[in-house]
Amino acid sequence: DIQMTQSPSTLSASVGDRVTITCRASQSISSWLAWYQQKPGKAPKLLIYEASSLESGVPSRFSGSGSGTEFTLTISSLQPDDFATYYCLQYNSYSETFGQGTKVEIK
Amino acid sequence: EVQLLESGGGLVQPGGSLRLSCAASGFTFSNSAMNWVRQAPGKGLEWVSAISGDGDSTYYADSVKGRFTISRDNSKNTLFLQIDSLGAEDTAVYYCAKSGCSGDTCYSRFWGQGTLVTVSS
Protein backbone atom coordinates (compact mmCIF):
# COMPACT_ATOMS: atom_id res chain seq x y z
CA ASP A 1 0.00 0.00 0.00
CA ILE A 2 1.09 3.57 -0.66
CA GLN A 3 1.80 5.60 2.49
CA MET A 4 1.41 9.38 2.67
CA THR A 5 3.53 11.44 5.05
CA GLN A 6 2.15 14.93 5.62
CA SER A 7 4.00 17.72 7.40
CA PRO A 8 3.83 19.64 9.59
CA SER A 9 1.11 18.17 11.80
CA THR A 10 0.38 21.62 13.24
CA LEU A 11 1.19 25.04 11.88
CA SER A 12 0.76 28.38 13.67
CA ALA A 13 0.40 31.35 11.35
CA SER A 14 -1.03 34.85 11.14
CA VAL A 15 -3.49 36.39 8.73
CA GLY A 16 -1.60 37.39 5.59
CA ASP A 17 1.13 34.77 5.99
CA ARG A 18 2.21 32.49 3.17
CA VAL A 19 1.66 28.90 4.27
CA THR A 20 3.07 25.69 2.78
CA ILE A 21 2.05 22.11 3.61
CA THR A 22 3.92 19.11 2.23
CA CYS A 23 2.91 15.53 1.42
CA ARG A 24 5.35 12.81 0.51
CA ALA A 25 4.27 9.50 -1.07
CA SER A 26 6.09 6.24 -0.38
CA GLN A 27 6.20 5.59 -4.13
CA SER A 28 5.42 7.55 -7.27
CA ILE A 29 1.78 8.51 -7.69
CA SER A 30 2.27 10.64 -10.80
CA SER A 31 -0.06 13.62 -10.25
CA TRP A 32 -2.88 11.68 -8.61
CA LEU A 33 -3.05 13.81 -5.48
CA ALA A 34 -5.85 15.89 -4.00
CA TRP A 35 -6.03 18.39 -1.14
CA TYR A 36 -8.98 18.91 1.19
CA GLN A 37 -9.92 21.45 3.85
CA GLN A 38 -11.95 20.39 6.86
CA LYS A 39 -13.47 22.53 9.60
CA PRO A 40 -14.68 21.11 12.93
CA GLY A 41 -17.94 19.20 12.62
CA LYS A 42 -18.04 19.59 8.84
CA ALA A 43 -17.36 17.36 5.87
CA PRO A 44 -14.08 17.81 3.98
CA LYS A 45 -14.08 20.20 1.05
CA LEU A 46 -12.07 19.55 -2.10
CA LEU A 47 -9.53 22.28 -2.89
CA ILE A 48 -7.10 20.80 -5.42
CA TYR A 49 -7.12 17.69 -7.61
CA GLU A 50 -4.52 16.18 -9.96
CA ALA A 51 -1.88 17.89 -7.82
CA SER A 52 -2.40 21.38 -9.20
CA SER A 53 -5.94 21.78 -10.58
CA LEU A 54 -8.04 24.22 -8.58
CA GLU A 55 -11.56 23.02 -7.84
CA SER A 56 -14.29 25.32 -9.08
CA GLY A 57 -15.20 28.02 -6.58
CA VAL A 58 -12.00 27.68 -4.53
CA PRO A 59 -10.14 30.99 -4.03
CA SER A 60 -7.02 31.46 -6.13
CA ARG A 61 -4.87 31.96 -3.04
CA PHE A 62 -4.83 28.15 -2.83
CA SER A 63 -2.42 26.37 -5.14
CA GLY A 64 -0.90 22.92 -5.45
CA SER A 65 2.29 21.66 -7.01
CA GLY A 66 4.42 18.56 -7.34
CA SER A 67 4.49 15.19 -9.03
CA GLY A 68 5.90 11.76 -8.37
CA THR A 69 6.42 11.63 -4.60
CA GLU A 70 6.63 15.25 -3.40
CA PHE A 71 3.65 17.61 -3.28
CA THR A 72 2.84 20.96 -1.70
CA LEU A 73 -0.24 22.97 -0.92
CA THR A 74 0.37 26.70 -0.67
CA ILE A 75 -1.93 29.39 0.68
CA SER A 76 -0.48 32.63 -0.62
CA SER A 77 -2.05 34.95 1.95
CA LEU A 78 -3.79 33.27 4.86
CA GLN A 79 -7.32 34.52 5.53
CA PRO A 80 -9.42 34.12 8.70
CA ASP A 81 -11.62 31.55 6.94
CA ASP A 82 -8.57 29.37 6.22
CA PHE A 83 -7.93 28.25 9.79
CA ALA A 84 -8.80 24.57 9.48
CA THR A 85 -7.27 21.12 9.03
CA TYR A 86 -5.88 20.15 5.62
CA TYR A 87 -5.48 16.63 4.24
CA CYS A 88 -3.77 15.26 1.17
CA LEU A 89 -5.11 12.16 -0.60
CA GLN A 90 -3.34 9.87 -3.04
CA TYR A 91 -5.64 8.16 -5.52
CA ASN A 92 -3.09 6.51 -7.76
CA SER A 93 -4.15 3.04 -6.67
CA TYR A 94 -7.48 1.45 -5.94
CA SER A 95 -6.55 1.69 -2.27
CA GLU A 96 -6.61 5.40 -1.56
CA THR A 97 -4.61 6.91 1.31
CA PHE A 98 -4.97 10.17 3.20
CA GLY A 99 -2.16 12.03 4.87
CA GLN A 100 -2.35 12.48 8.64
CA GLY A 101 -3.57 16.07 8.38
CA THR A 102 -2.17 19.54 9.12
CA LYS A 103 -3.99 21.80 11.55
CA VAL A 104 -3.51 25.47 10.71
CA GLU A 105 -3.91 27.50 13.88
CA ILE A 106 -3.97 31.19 14.65
CA LYS A 107 -0.61 32.46 15.91
CA GLU B 1 -26.67 20.86 -7.12
CA VAL B 2 -25.12 17.63 -5.86
CA GLN B 3 -26.71 16.44 -2.63
CA LEU B 4 -25.71 13.40 -0.59
CA LEU B 5 -27.61 12.42 2.52
CA GLU B 6 -26.30 9.60 4.71
CA SER B 7 -28.45 7.69 7.17
CA GLY B 8 -28.42 4.48 9.18
CA GLY B 9 -25.82 5.31 11.79
CA GLY B 10 -26.35 4.79 15.49
CA LEU B 11 -25.27 2.91 18.59
CA VAL B 12 -24.49 -0.76 18.05
CA GLN B 13 -23.00 -3.43 20.28
CA PRO B 14 -19.63 -5.01 19.48
CA GLY B 15 -20.06 -7.83 16.98
CA GLY B 16 -23.22 -6.25 15.60
CA SER B 17 -24.12 -5.03 12.13
CA LEU B 18 -25.44 -1.89 10.48
CA ARG B 19 -26.44 -0.86 6.98
CA LEU B 20 -25.61 2.69 6.02
CA SER B 21 -27.40 4.43 3.16
CA CYS B 22 -26.57 7.48 1.09
CA ALA B 23 -29.36 9.09 -0.94
CA ALA B 24 -28.00 10.99 -3.93
CA SER B 25 -29.53 13.72 -6.05
CA GLY B 26 -28.51 16.48 -8.44
CA PHE B 27 -26.48 14.29 -10.82
CA THR B 28 -26.74 11.13 -12.91
CA PHE B 29 -26.07 8.62 -10.16
CA SER B 30 -25.47 5.59 -12.39
CA ASN B 31 -22.66 7.42 -14.18
CA SER B 32 -20.71 8.16 -11.02
CA ALA B 33 -18.28 6.10 -8.98
CA MET B 34 -18.87 6.53 -5.25
CA ASN B 35 -16.81 6.24 -2.09
CA TRP B 36 -17.20 5.75 1.64
CA VAL B 37 -14.69 7.53 3.90
CA ARG B 38 -14.70 7.46 7.70
CA GLN B 39 -13.27 9.57 10.50
CA ALA B 40 -12.87 8.32 14.05
CA PRO B 41 -13.49 10.94 16.77
CA GLY B 42 -10.60 13.40 16.86
CA LYS B 43 -8.70 11.49 14.17
CA GLY B 44 -7.91 11.83 10.49
CA LEU B 45 -9.72 10.65 7.39
CA GLU B 46 -9.63 7.00 6.31
CA TRP B 47 -10.80 5.81 2.89
CA VAL B 48 -13.01 2.74 3.36
CA SER B 49 -14.46 1.58 0.06
CA ALA B 50 -15.31 2.52 -3.53
CA ILE B 51 -17.70 1.26 -6.20
CA SER B 52 -17.96 1.87 -9.92
CA GLY B 53 -20.99 3.50 -11.49
CA ASP B 54 -22.44 0.21 -12.69
CA GLY B 55 -21.64 -1.53 -9.40
CA ASP B 56 -19.52 -4.19 -11.08
CA SER B 57 -16.23 -3.12 -9.48
CA THR B 58 -15.73 -2.70 -5.75
CA TYR B 59 -12.66 -1.85 -3.68
CA TYR B 60 -11.93 -1.99 0.05
CA ALA B 61 -9.34 -0.84 2.56
CA ASP B 62 -7.46 -3.75 4.11
CA SER B 63 -8.83 -2.73 7.53
CA VAL B 64 -12.42 -3.52 6.50
CA LYS B 65 -12.01 -6.20 3.83
CA GLY B 66 -14.24 -9.19 4.56
CA ARG B 67 -16.44 -7.25 7.04
CA PHE B 68 -17.79 -4.35 4.94
CA THR B 69 -19.77 -4.62 1.69
CA ILE B 70 -20.41 -1.68 -0.60
CA SER B 71 -23.33 -1.78 -3.03
CA ARG B 72 -25.68 0.53 -4.88
CA ASP B 73 -29.20 0.66 -6.26
CA ASN B 74 -29.08 2.85 -9.33
CA SER B 75 -32.86 2.71 -9.73
CA LYS B 76 -33.17 4.44 -6.35
CA ASN B 77 -30.07 6.65 -6.54
CA THR B 78 -28.83 5.13 -3.31
CA LEU B 79 -25.43 3.92 -2.11
CA PHE B 80 -25.08 1.39 0.71
CA LEU B 81 -22.44 0.17 3.12
CA GLN B 82 -23.15 -3.05 5.02
CA ILE B 83 -20.88 -3.24 8.04
CA ASP B 84 -20.61 -6.48 10.00
CA SER B 85 -18.62 -7.77 12.97
CA LEU B 86 -18.31 -4.26 14.32
CA GLY B 87 -15.57 -3.43 16.79
CA ALA B 88 -14.70 -0.34 18.79
CA GLU B 89 -12.22 0.63 16.08
CA ASP B 90 -15.14 1.13 13.68
CA THR B 91 -16.59 3.99 15.74
CA ALA B 92 -16.50 6.94 13.35
CA VAL B 93 -18.42 9.38 11.23
CA TYR B 94 -19.02 7.69 7.87
CA TYR B 95 -19.13 9.97 4.82
CA CYS B 96 -20.31 9.05 1.36
CA ALA B 97 -18.70 10.92 -1.49
CA LYS B 98 -19.28 11.32 -5.21
CA SER B 99 -16.16 10.71 -7.22
CA GLY B 100 -14.54 13.02 -9.71
CA CYS B 101 -12.62 11.01 -12.28
CA SER B 102 -9.95 11.37 -14.92
CA GLY B 103 -10.56 8.21 -16.92
CA ASP B 104 -10.44 5.37 -14.42
CA THR B 105 -8.61 7.39 -11.77
CA CYS B 106 -11.06 8.81 -9.24
CA TYR B 107 -11.08 10.89 -6.05
CA SER B 108 -13.81 12.03 -3.65
CA ARG B 109 -15.17 15.30 -5.01
CA PHE B 110 -18.51 16.00 -3.30
CA TRP B 111 -19.21 14.87 0.25
CA GLY B 112 -22.27 14.27 2.36
CA GLN B 113 -22.48 15.48 5.96
CA GLY B 114 -21.84 12.04 7.43
CA THR B 115 -23.55 9.61 9.78
CA LEU B 116 -22.10 8.62 13.16
CA VAL B 117 -21.58 4.97 14.03
CA THR B 118 -20.81 4.25 17.68
CA VAL B 119 -19.78 0.76 18.73
CA SER B 120 -20.19 0.23 22.45
CA SER B 121 -21.74 -2.14 24.92
Q: What is the pLDDT of residues B11-31, one digit of tens each?
A: 999 999 999 999 999 999 999
| Residue A92: band (very low, low, confident or very high) from pLDDT cuts 50, 70, 90 | confident
Residue B54 reports pLDDT greater than 90: yes
Residues of B in contact with A1 (CB under 8 A): 62
Nearest chain B residue (CA) to A51: B107
Per CB-CB distance under 8 Å, the chain B contacts of A98 are 44-47
Cα–Cα distance measured from residue B4 to residue A62, given in angstroms and rounded to the nearest whole number: 26
pLDDT tens-digit map of A20-33: 999 999 999 999 99
Q: Give the best residue of A56, A91, A92 to mutate against chain B (max B CB count within 10 A).
A: A91
Q: Which residues of B touch A43 (CB under 8 A)?
A: 95, 111-114
Interface of B with A in 8-37 (CB under 8 A): 35, 37
User: Do B62 and A95 count as a contact with CB atoms less than 8 A apart?
Assistant: yes
H/E segment holding residue A37: strand A33-38
Q: Do A100 and B44 touch (CB under 8 A)?
A: yes
Position B104 confidence tier, pLDDT thresholds 50, 70, 90: confident
CA distance B92 to B110: 19
Q: Is the pLDDT of residue A98 over 80?
A: yes
B95 touches chain A (CB under 8 A): yes
CA distance B54 to B56: 6
Give every CB contact of residue A23 below 8 A, 6+ residues apart in sequence: A4, A5, A6, A7, A33, A66, A70, A71, A72, A73, A88, A90, A99
What is the tens place of the pLDDT at every residue in A25-76?
999 999 999 999 999 999 999 999 999 999 999 999 999 999 999 999 999 9
pLDDT at B120 over 80: yes
Which residues of chain B from 56 to 75 reach within 8 Å of chain A, CB to CB? 59, 61-62
Contact assignment for A89 to B112 by CB distance below 8 Å:
no
The pLDDT value recorded for residue A7 is 97
* Closest CA–CA distance from residue A5 to any residue of chain B (Å): 13
Report strand pairing: A70-75 vs A19-25: antiparallel
